[in-house]
Structures are given as C-alpha cells and as structure tokens.
Amino acid sequence: MKSAGDRNAGLSIIEREELGTLIDVLGARGYQVIGPVVSDGAIVYDRIASLADLPEGLTDEQDGGRYRLKQRDDRALFGYVVGPHSWKKYLHPPRIRLFRAECAENGLRIIDEEQPQEKFAFIGARSCELHAIAIQDRVLLDGVYPDAVYRARRENLFVVAVNCGTAGGTCFCTSMNTGPKATTGYDLALTEIPDPDNHRFLVEPGTALGAEILGALSSREATPDDETIAEQSIARAVEQMENNTRRMDATGIRELLLDNLEHARWDDVAQRCLTCANCTMVCPTCFCTTVEDTTDLTGDHAERWRRWDSCFTQDFSYIHGGSVRVSPMSRYRQWMTHKLATWIDQFGVSGCVGCGRCITWCPVGIDITEEIRAIRGQINGCKA
C-alpha cells in the first residue's frame, strides 16, 4: 500500500472502507462533510459522519413527475443519480439574514451580519452538478459585485466528485456536454466499482489539496483492469442516455427560442403548468432571490432577510402598477428562454446542465426537452 510520501498524481484505488477514512480525515480538518442520505423517501444532501449514513444498495427511478427509491442488487454507495437537493443550498443558502437594525439612544443602529466561516466538503457531487457550481461562480463571483456569502463558502470548499455509472430516467447531461464523467471542478474524483468480492473506488486527484488528502489514505496504484472497468461503467451511463428519447438538441437553441416567442407551444405548456416554482427550487443553477424586512411587535428591532425567489411567482416581476408577467404562459416562457437563451447573453454559457431535476419534480411532468423538440417542430405537428 502507498503512504503519503510515495504517491504520484496518477490513478489510485481505495477500498470501500477507506471512504470512511476519507470522511474522518476531512472532518478532522474542520470540514462539515456533506453527502447523500435517505430522508422522507428521497436521497438528499445532509451532514454525514460515516459510511453508515450513505444510501447503500439504493437507486432512484425517475420520470416526469415521478421519483421512487428501490433496492439494487449490490451494495453500491452511489448507485443513484440526483435527488431534489442540489449543492446550491450550501453555497447560496435558501434564507439568510443580511443585517439587523435596533433603536439606540443616539438613533438607529445598523448591525451587519457576520457570516460564519464554514468549511464544507461535498462527497458525491456529479459532473452535471460541478458544471452547475461553475455556472453559479460566473453569476455570483465573476461579476462586478460578487456575492460575499457565496464567496466565503466557495473559497473553503472541498469537492469529492463521483462519476456516474448509470443514467437516471430524466438525465440528459450528454446533450449539454456536462457529464457523466467529471472533468473539472473537483479535488478528488471517484468511480465506484461495486464488485461484491472487491468493492473499491478508482480515485483521481484534481488539485494539490486533493492529492494531499489522498495521501492520508491507504491505497494502491490502479491497474489497467481497474481503469477499464471504471471506463466501462461510465460508458454504460452514456449509452443509456444516448438510447433515451429524452435528449435535447442544443444546436442554435438561443436563436430557436428568441425567434419563436409567440409559438403556440407556449400556450400549450401554460395549460399544464401550475406555476408552483418546483423547477426553479430544485434547479442547481437558478439564483433569483428577494429581500424581506421584518419587525418585532415593539417596533424597536428590524431585520432584513434574503431568500430564494422564482420567476414563476407573480410578485417576482412586480413594479409600480402591477406585475410584468401575469400569465402562466409568460412566466414559463421567461424561465425557459432565460435558462436556454438569454443566459448565454448574460454569462456566456447555457443555464441548463441536463440534470433532469426540473422534469422529475414537476408535479405534472412538464419536460423541458419535449418543449424544445415541439418548438423545433419534431413532435405534435408543431412547426418552428
């Protein structure tokens, strides 16, 4: 076995139990270790302390408006795809207090909120999710006015990616060139090989810190057979998505949408859309927020809070005189054209990573890939 002093930056193998050591090592370095856990019938992200917290032997069945967990025939720890949570909830919190105001003897006193310097270690991040984090970096870090809360959390982040060995029913990351193999944005990348006789992980460091952490684990050099098995696992996920009708042709998609703002399909989808905002809440790239001020009954104390908002709420586009987007049609069109078209104008990339969450968690199963095919004239007799 290798120790810290003799490891190179190539591919290594760690045994299943060594993943527990990784969790311990990260915890000892002051990280809050976040990973997949089972809660309320879904795989979500939460604090983990050991291998026992991970969803052993479970996978997820997903389709439009449908999500179910079921048993696998092995003990895989990452045999699912993605659930309703994204890592966004830790880097761009759903609700956060910005400041407080109190009445003092000399007038109003403003108390800025001191954000805790939290260190997170994400275990189990998929390639599509790493691309989503990179998109949020462009939105919340790379602009003229970077978000201080996001920056503090992002700078202290350690990422353990997991390459997908199976595709979910609503995945289309191959259409968006965002997966299923992690290529950037991680400190360590794992490919799980859940062989019942030799359950192990192929590990690839992505940063110097990742290599340093790997050096604290017991490992061996990966053999050509190990690498082949890992590559075959990822290739299966690609094949499953390529054989799935749920794909999105992103060629010229910006022009397609902006040239079809009055397409009849918008009215069709509006008849089904509940404007519930589920799609934006589960989306790993949506970033819209609103600000709320609250006061106590005495009137001598007030707080300002920021919370997630959605372009599907009518108040989101409210200005003097009323809301700009009153109809469900206009709100759905705003979301989809921003995500796939004008996002490119703003940030130079698409706002969609193909994770499929918006399809799975839509109560009525609206499918963004189907809507694009319809506007292209590929289904339902529609003509673009």
Are both 224 and 337 inside the same structural domain? no
Residue 247 lies in a domain: no
* Count of domains for the chain: 2
Same domain (yes/no): 231, 257: no
Which residues have C-beta within 8 Å of that of residue 29, sequence separation ≥ 6? 119
Amino acid at site 85:
H
Note whether 357 and 86 are within 8 A (CB). yes
More confident residue, 107 or 268: 268
Considering the domain architecture, whether residues 319 and 216 belong to the same structural domain is answered as no
Residues 227 and 263 in one domain: no
Give Cα separations from 17 to 13, 163, 187, 219 (angstroms): 12, 19, 20, 11
Q: What's the residue count for the chain?
A: 384
**3-state helix/strand/coil string of 229-288:** HHHHHHHHHHHHHHCCCCCCCCCCHHHHHHCCCCCCHHHHHHHHCCCCCHHHHHCCCCCC
Confidence of residue 4 (pLDDT cuts 50, 70, 90): very low
Is 215 inside any structural domain? yes
382 belongs to a structural domain: no
In the structure, what pLDDT confidence band is assigned to residue 112 with cuts at 50, 70 and 90?
confident
Cα(first)–Cα(last) distance of the chain, in Å? 60
Q: Which of 39-43, 294-298, 324-328 shows the lowest per-residue confidence on average (mean pLDDT)?
A: 294-298
Looking at 190, 222, 242, the residue that finishes a domain is: 242
Residues 149 and 185 in one domain: yes
* pLDDT band at residue 7 under the 50/70/90 scheme: very low
Q: What share of the chain is helix, strand, coil (3-state, %, to 5)?
A: 35, 25, 40
Q: Please indicate, yes or no, whether residues 122 and 182 belong to a single structural domain of this protein.
A: yes
Shared domain for 193 and 302, answered yes or no, is: no
Whether residue 86 lies inside any domain: the answer is yes
Which pLDDT belongs to residue 3?
A: 37
Residue 89 has pLDDT above 80, yes or no: yes
Q: Are residues 311 and 264 in the same domain?
A: yes
Q: Tokens standing for 260? A: 């079809």
In a domain, 226, yes or no: yes
- The answer to the question of residue 381 being in a domain is no
What is the spatial distance between Cα 59 and Cα 46, in angstroms, rounded to a whole number? 18
Asked if 147 and 100 touch (Cβ cutoff 8 Å), the reply is no
Percentage of the chain lying above the pLDDT 90 cut: 84
CA 361-366-369 angle, to 5 degrees, is 105
- How confident is the model over 24-36, as pLDDT tens digits? 999 999 999 999 9
DSSP state of 52: G
248 within domain boundaries: no
100 and 229 within one domain: yes
Mean pLDDT for the stretch of residues 40-61: 97
In this prediction, residue 23 has a pLDDT band, given cuts at 50, 70 and 90, of very high
Establish whether the linkage from the previous residue to 180 is cis, with ω within 30° of 0: yes
Domain limit, last residue, from 242, 261, 289: 242
Q: Which domain holds residue 211?
A: 4-242
Same domain assignment for residues 122 and 222? yes
- Kindly report the average pLDDT of the chain as a whole number: 93
Q: How many alpha carbons fall within 13 Å on the CB side of residue 360?
A: 23
For 365: left if phi > 0, alpha if psi spans -120 to 50, otherwise beta; the answer is: left
Instruction: Please check whether residue 280 lies inside any domain of the structure.
Output: yes
Element (H, E) at 16: helix 16-28
The average pLDDT across 171-178 equals: 95
> Among residues 199, 218, 242, which one ends one of the domains?
242
Segment (H or E) for 136: helix 127-140
- pLDDT of 1 above 80: no
DSSP string, 311-355: TTSGGGGEETTEES--SHHHHHHHHHHIIIIIHHHHHSS-S----
* Same-domain pairing of 161 and 40: yes
One domain, residues 193 and 335: no
Q: Please give the single-letter amino acid code of residue 125.
A: A
